[in-house]
Amino acid sequence: MPESERVLISGAAGGMGAATARRFAAGGWTPVLTDLPGPRLDAIAGELDAQAIPADLRTKQACDAVVAEAGALDCLVAAAGLWTEGPAEETTEEAWDRVLDVNLKGLFFLTAAAIPVLARAGEGGARAAGSIVAVSSDAGLHGNTGAAVYCASKGGVSNLVRALALELAPRGVRVNAVCPGDVETPMLTYQAETFGGGDPDGYRRALLASYPQKQQARFTQPHEVAELIWYLAQPAAAPITGANLSIDFGLTAGV
């Protein structure tokens, strides 16, 4: 029996990361999970009987170590991320570094470390080379008022994906991003509770008010994003590389 395909998922203890791990496991793949150490990572690893690699991905050294421990890979899903918002002139250097180090620097070095492993997947001839799916955001495609730092990080991710897709095409490695709007995950809860001025429900209502569906607007669910990520990792998605695929109810359709 051939060995199952393997996917390394960062942010695997988070909303979208865990949903993605479940989707790949349901499709018969072996998920390898990485996130900050803690009970949430232990829980999803236990649920899926999956390998967990606890790590803080803010350094190249940590990214290299995670990929080395993960072993053979057919896909990397880079979903670790942090949110921040607030006026630019009040932004501290610490806040900039914290968000950029996770959302952009960590994503880049995790991806860079995985390139030879993913290219190798295709060298034996039996399988296609692997692919990379980065979780960017609508904030990677347009500006969000009051979220300049987060937008800078995700704009970097979205353009990084385009450049890497060109660089890695000759080796058969596809590189894409998904760009969700607001997704019902712990990050959204954190946003509403931390930046909602004591009115998290009002914060959520304000987000939904910007959607073209108006009264019918709702947040995307993590499993809906996971389905798109899953598709992008499949052979059927062979022609898709360098793409930033919106999954946002049309939030960025007018850009």
Ligand X SMILES: NC(=O)c1ccc[n+]([C@@H]2O[C@H](COP(=O)([O-])OP(=O)(O)OC[C@H]3O[C@@H](n4cnc5c(N)ncnc54)[C@H](O)[C@@H]3O)[C@@H](O)[C@H]2O)c1
> Bridge partners of 78?
10, 134
Q: Choose between 63 and 121: whose C-beta lies nearer to ligand X.
A: 63
The reply to whether 22 sits near ligand X by the rule CB under 6 A is: no
Count of residues touching ligand X (by CB under 6 A):
25
Indicate whether 102 belongs to the interface with ligand X (CB under 6 A). yes
If one asks whether residue 135 binds ligand X (CB under 6 A), the answer comes out as yes
* Residue from the set 5, 6, 14, 52 that interacts with ligand X by CB under 6 A: 14
Dihedral (C-alpha) 241, 246, 252, 253: value to the nearest 10 degrees? Answer: 80
Is residue 147 a contact point for ligand X (CB under 6 A)?
Answer: no
| Residue selected from 16, 132, 192, 251 as contacting ligand X according to rule CB under 6 A | 16
Instruction: Choose, by CB under 6 A, the member of 15, 31, 155, 156 that binds ligand X.
Output: 15
Residue least distant from ligand X (Cβ)? 14
Under rule CB under 6 A, residue 227 binds ligand X: no
The minimum distance between CB 62 and ligand X, in angstroms, equals 8
Please indicate whether residue 150 is annotated as part of the active site. Answer: yes
Using the rule CB under 6 A, give the single segment among 13-21, 44-52, 124-132, 231-239 that binds ligand X. 13-21
HEC sequence for 22-61: HHHHHCCCEEEEEECCCHHHHHHHHHHCCEEEECCCCCHH
Q: How far is the CB of 171 from ligand X (least distance, A)?
A: 25
Q: Which of 11, 31, 130, 155 binds ligand X (CB under 6 A)?
A: 11
Q: 22, 27, 42, 58: which one contacts ligand X (CB under 6 A)? A: 58
- Range in contact with ligand X (rule: CB under 6 A) among 78-86, 111-119, 169-177, 237-245: 78-86
Instruction: Give the residue numbers annotated as catalytic, written as ranges.
Output: 150
Q: Applying CB under 6 A, which residues contact ligand X? A: 11, 13-17, 35-36, 56-58, 79-82, 102, 135, 137, 180, 182-183, 185-188
